[in-house]
Structure 1
Amino acid sequence: MTTLRTPPTEDQILRAPKVLLHDHLDGGLRPATIVELAREQGYDRLPEEDPGRLGHWFREAADSGSLERYLETFAHTCAVMQTREALVRVASECVRDLAADGVVYAEIRYAPEQHLTAGLTLEQVVEAVNDGFREGERLAAGEGRRIRVGALLTAMRHAARSLEIAELANRYRDRGVVGFDIAGAEAGFPPTRHLPAFEFLKRENNHFTIHAGEAFGLPSIWEALQLCGADRLGHGVRIMDDIETGEDGTVRLGRLAAYVRDKRVPLEMCPTSNLQTGAASSYAEHPIGLLRRLHFRVTVNTDNRLMSGTSMSREFGHLVRTFGWTLDDLQWLTVNAMKSAFIPFDERLSMINDVIKPGYAGLRSEWLFGADPVARS
């Protein structure tokens, strides 16, 4: 592989193949879609009715520095996602938006229990979202963009339906659902409250990730890994609490941090979202820079594209500008994510060898054999 130390351009970042493991369906709606669905459904509680101002409101509300305040914004998106038609539309648009951003594989999570107020059953919710994902894949393919999307079914930490949702995820396994997740406020709601769900999934040899180490510290990460058996950590930024950096630049890993690195536990990091919720103070101070240098299995994700006003290309762009990362770094992160996906090994390998590596190789060749790099800057 040819190594280039020149940071990629915005256009190259956009065209680079990307893999997304942590993205919430109800956190990525188009503002115009929210307005249209609200009018159709008679929902009159939106803070703004103009799509541009509404998008701005979501971003401002999410910039509070509080995870709890950040989560409140979802009341409006979930409110317009209560019918089959709305769920199909939102899921389809999600896939097409990701494909337009260069995402080639994504795992999109949502909580079926949040979409039952208009009379849908849990099964109808899952089938509607799956149909929307398949529609989005077909429409993206028709536009010349290849993307594959799997669903993660999420249970809410504060609720008591996690075993039911885990069983639902298992029933729809190999039918569009690739795994399970728990989400919501960490403080006061440890993952161990949902041990029956995790024990069930382990007995069924199924995959699951757990939101941990975002707003709460090392105990949340330890419980997710050692008591619950998570395959991946949602966010995991607080693993930095177990890493010491000396004045001379030396780094010492605590036992938990060393375990996470040694076991290659994937960290689903969401830089912009982490800044909004106060889990990190700036891109420069975000743990992803050090964790990448230490070769943790870090991945880059969007979390909630609407609330964060972001995309995978924007996330990559922030990190390129902050850390001087190159196409080599972006490929490393993308391969990390693909290795950590919840689809079979041979399918992950095919995506890496047939889509991701050739895509980055093509971008590198532009520097070597294309137009003058100076003219591109």
Structure 2
Amino acid sequence: MTKRAYVVNLSGEEQKKLQKICSTGKTAARSIRRAQILLWADENRNEGKLKDTEIAERLHIHTNTVHLVRKVFAEQGLQAALERKKRLTPPNPPKVTGELEAKIIALSCSEPPTGKSRWTLRLLADKAVELQYIDSLSYDTVDRILKKGELKPHLRKCWCIPPQQNAAFVAAMEDVLEVYHEPYDVNCPVICMDEKPFQLLNEVRQPIPMKPAKPLREDSEYERNGTCSIFIFTEPLVGWRHVEVRNQRTRMEWAEQVRALLDVHYPQAPKIKLVMDNLNTHSVASLYHAFDPETALRLAKRLEIHYTPKHGSWLNIAEIELSVMTRQCLGRRIPSITELSDELSAWEQSRNQIQKGVDWQFTTKDARIKLKRLYPQFKD
């Protein structure tokens, strides 16, 4: 019988320490496994020592691992057998440093090369190598860097960007915000107005209905039937809105919509505060262009117009209603003005029944804090 090269003889204190490591489970799994190897390999074990092959079979490990633990225990002691071997040489420095990440981020925020509409992961990786930031770089690494910085160079978002320190913008913004902050007055309601162009499209081929595991399928070809304009009026505090479809968006259409608002929908209101964008057709002059002077003056006297600032259409609550209407009703092909009017009428009736209003929270005080950069620098 061959004699073992490395014998494990545990003292009573060492046995208790190893048993505690195995029973508590608060130590690293690697140390627990090595403690089990030493306990089963102990020559002083009451139940009898186990062969290396038996220990390896019980722990589902290789016999070489059992042999290695025996060797470390015999040569360096119990603590060395339980702990991971310390690295004698310093680890290799990371390839992706903070400096490289900063350069990649700066590169992604710069203009893309000529002939490219945007930066891609592969384009950024190749450019970093070309600029000698690093010898080689994968696009997966670039992806991790951009995600870490929450950067998305593949996305573009349309946004109203006002000029810096613009007194005209601030004056119109605070005027609209003060109107929104006023309490409800039945004799002078606040009405927001906006309009939206819409393209009429007809199906060339009948869509295939939805089936289990298959969505509705429509042909990419369609027939253009012209365009029209959608006018919307809304009273946010009441939860009322009215939608009208017209062939065009001219002074005549706007004037007719305003007369219907005053004479049909709010005939008893002495005055209406009308909030809208500052377009060329949105003026009292359009009333005189469309009607006789007496009618135009009568309508103008009942209007108190408040314009949203240029590049500040987000201040118009009617845009919120337009966004909801687009998502809920217009996400499809509609071939004619008649059908569009019917669909919008049904949407308007349904939304008015639930009296869904808009709870506007942004105030003048908030604007002076969050949009401070837009205010001109005041000097005493």
* TM-score normalised by the chain length of structure 2: 0.22
Tell me which of the two structures has the higher relative contact order, counting C-alpha pairs closer than 8 angstroms and 6 or more residues apart. 1
More helix as a share of residues:
1
